[in-house]
Amino acid sequence: MPNIKSAKKRVKVISAKSLQNQMLKSQLRTAIKKCNAAIDAADKAEATELYKVAVKKIDQAVSHGILHKNNAAHKKSALTVKLNKMA
């Protein structure tokens, strides 16, 4: 445990930021899983809506520095390919 005041603050700030990052990652994974499930169920309308949500979550993760932009592009591309194959 740190003794210096600034170090104590850093511990608190880092733990708060880690929690936020963990929440965003969880929401991202959930959105992608729901989209994949809708695609597997061949529900075109629901899959399209969930695809939009998943892409939005991916873009938010990039803007918060949780995902690298190339990783995000890969994830979006994979979802797009699955969605287009379904049609």
| Angle ∠(24,25,28) on CA atoms, nearest 5 | 85
Residue 26 belongs to domain with CATH number: 1.20.58.110
Q: What is the largest CA-CA distance in the chain?
A: 61
Statement: residue 87 has pLDDT above 90: no
Per-residue pLDDT reduced to its tens digit, 4-39: 999 999 999 999 999 999 999 999 999 999 999 999
- Which residue in 28, 72, 75, 35 sits closest to 52, CA to CA? 35
Residue 31: exposure state from Cβ atoms within 10 A (0-12, 13-18, ≥19): buried
As a whole number, mean pLDDT of residues 40-60 equals 95
Q: How many domains does the chain have?
A: 1
CB 51 within 8 A of CB 83: yes
**3-class DSSP assignment, residue 48:** helix
- Domain hosting residue 68, numbered range: 5-86
As a whole number, mean pLDDT of residues 47-64 equals 96
